[in-house]
Amino acid sequence: MKKILALGACIVSLFALEMTVAKKGVLDIKKTYVADIYSPKQVMVATRLMGYIKKMSVEEGDLVKKGEMLFEVDPADIYSMLNQARGAVLQARSGVLMAEMAYADAKKDYLRFKNLYKNGAVSKRDFEKMKLMMDIRKKQVDMAKGMLKQAKSALERARAQLKYAKVTSPITGVVTMKMKKVAEMALPGYPVIVLSDINSIKAKSLVKESDVDKFKIGMPVIIKVPAIKKTYKAKVSTIIPAGDNFTHSFVVKYTFENHKGLLPGMYAKAEVVVGKKEAIFVPFAALTTRGGIVGVFVVDENDIAHFTPVKQIAQVGDNIAVEGIKANTKVILYPPANLVDGQKVEE
């Protein structure tokens, strides 16, 4: 066994080992907060009609385009109003016809009495009565035409109401909430569906009061979205200065540089640099294990290698921030498996 160890030591000494020194650097202190992806632009879609929902074309989470049908209200009451309006128009037209016929007769009587009055065949009083009757009939025609105009307007309103039975999306967005189901009553002005604009996406976190002073407007944030396995760059855009009385937390909002692929309601994590501290860095290639313990081989002034356990703090690129060694300590890169503690090495 001693011969094998001696042979291994000879082999190590035959090859020059690559070395470097541990360097002092600055390590970012990061904190992670739960974040929600949301749209600040929400549209609550309601119907102008009162009626039972006949059809629902979307579900929560569906992406809809502007103009796409969302739901339909049973237009039975509108058809009834439409039929009544049509009947009123027919009745008003009949009234105009009868008024015009009565006016035409009154006008003929007036013209006849006018000639008789000129010839002295009728009295002035009888002539004026014919003129008054003609004027009354003329006003009745005007009134009948006015009633016809009102009936036509009511018919147009009924027809316009009919198109409101089918409710379409006013924006391109995602359905975030359904507040009614098929066969339930829809009332004018009361939301049936809530849409979120996907062209305006932000994120927000609840931050405890002890951390809120670490956030500054414009500071960079990394948003990680596990569902789609993507990372996004963002900045702190809003810090709401009023905290919750029960949780003692504050809302912090983030604005994305590019939010492609994100949808409102997604779960995310916001990674924020809240401070910095000095640390000792070594290349990842310097780490090795001996007996299940992670460490590095340091080389003293006599070129003797010593296995030194270290605690890994964080990884920054190809370097590892560690505790357990000092700055400017010489360490071995890619230490061979047969390198043992106390062995003399050459660079």
Q: Which amino acid would we find at residue 55?
A: K
Provide the pLDDT for residue 121: 87
**Are 22 and 53 in a shared domain?**
no
Among all chains, which residue has been given the structure tokens 């976190």? Answer: 205
CATH number at residue 107: 1.10.287.470
Provide the pLDDT for residue 162: 80
Among all chains, which residue has been given the structure tokens 């951390």? Answer: 211
Query: What sign does the CA torsion over 313, 318, 324, 328 have?
Result: negative
Provide the pLDDT for residue 189: 86
Yes or no: say if 232 and 73 are a contact pair by the CB < 8 Å rule: no
Please indicate, yes or no, if residue 128 is contained in any of the structural domains: yes
Looking at 139, 163, 187, which one is the last position of a domain?
163
pLDDT at 3 over 50: no
Q: What confidence category does residue 5 fall into, taking pLDDT thresholds of 50, 70 and 90?
A: very low
**Are 69 and 176 in a shared domain?**
yes
Percent of the chain with pLDDT over 70: 95
Please indicate, yes or no, if residue 338 is contained in any of the structural domains: no
Task: Please write the tens of the pLDDT for every residue from 111-167.
Answer: 999 999 898 888 899 889 999 999 999 999 999 999 999 989 888 887 877 888 889
Provide the pLDDT for residue 22: 95
Please indicate, yes or no, if residue 4 is contained in any of the structural domains: no
Yes or no: say if 342 and 305 are a contact pair by the CB < 8 Å rule: yes
What span, in angstroms and rounded, lies between the C-alpha atoms of 263 and 39? 8
pLDDT at 10 over 60: no
**Are 327 and 295 in a shared domain?**
yes
**Are 116 and 130 in a shared domain?**
yes
Provide the pLDDT for residue 284: 94
Q: What is the mean pLDDT of the chain?
A: 88
pLDDT at 17 over 50: yes
Task: Please write the tens of the pLDDT for every residue from 33-55.
Answer: 999 999 888 899 999 888 899 99
The residue among 157, 162, 167, 151 whose CA lies nearest residue 77 is 162
Provide the pLDDT for residue 7: 45
**Are 270 and 255 in a shared domain?**
yes
CATH number at residue 49: 2.40.50.100
pLDDT at 174 over 70: yes
**Are 19 and 157 in a shared domain?**
no
**Are 242 and 321 in a shared domain?**
no
Please indicate, yes or no, if residue 1 is contained in any of the structural domains: no
**Are 208 and 63 in a shared domain?**
no
Number of domains in the chain: 4
**Are 87 and 158 in a shared domain?**
yes
What span, in angstroms and rounded, lies between the C-alpha atoms of 63 and 72? 18
DSSP 347: -
Percent of the chain with pLDDT over 90: 56
What span, in angstroms and rounded, lies between the C-alpha atoms of 8 and 164? 88
Provide the pLDDT for residue 75: 80
Please indicate, yes or no, if residue 109 is contained in any of the structural domains: yes
**Are 94 and 155 in a shared domain?**
yes
Provide the pLDDT for residue 78: 73
**Are 158 and 291 in a shared domain?**
no
10 or 134, which is more confident: 134
CATH number at residue 284: 2.40.420.20
Q: What confidence category does residue 300 fall into, taking pLDDT thresholds of 50, 70 and 90?
A: very high
Please indicate, yes or no, if residue 305 is contained in any of the structural domains: yes
**Are 326 and 226 in a shared domain?**
no
25 or 246, which is more confident: 25
Please indicate, yes or no, if residue 6 is contained in any of the structural domains: no
User: Which range marks the domain in which residue 172 is found?
Assistant: 42-73+165-197
Provide the pLDDT for residue 49: 84
Task: Please write the tens of the pLDDT for every residue from 252-286.
Answer: 999 999 998 888 888 999 999 888 889 999 999 99
Task: Please write the tens of the pLDDT for every residue from 196-209.
Answer: 888 889 999 999 98
Looking at 239, 261, 276, which one is the last position of a domain?
276
Please indicate, yes or no, if residue 3 is contained in any of the structural domains: no
Looking at 181, 197, 213, which one is the last position of a domain?
197
Name the β-bridge partners of 275: 29
Task: Please write the tens of the pLDDT for every residue from 312-334.
Answer: 988 888 999 999 999 999 999 99
What span, in angstroms and rounded, lies between the C-alpha atoms of 213 and 45? 39
CATH number at residue 237: 2.40.30.170
Provide the pLDDT for residue 1: 43
Please state the rounded mean pLDDT for residues 105-111: 93
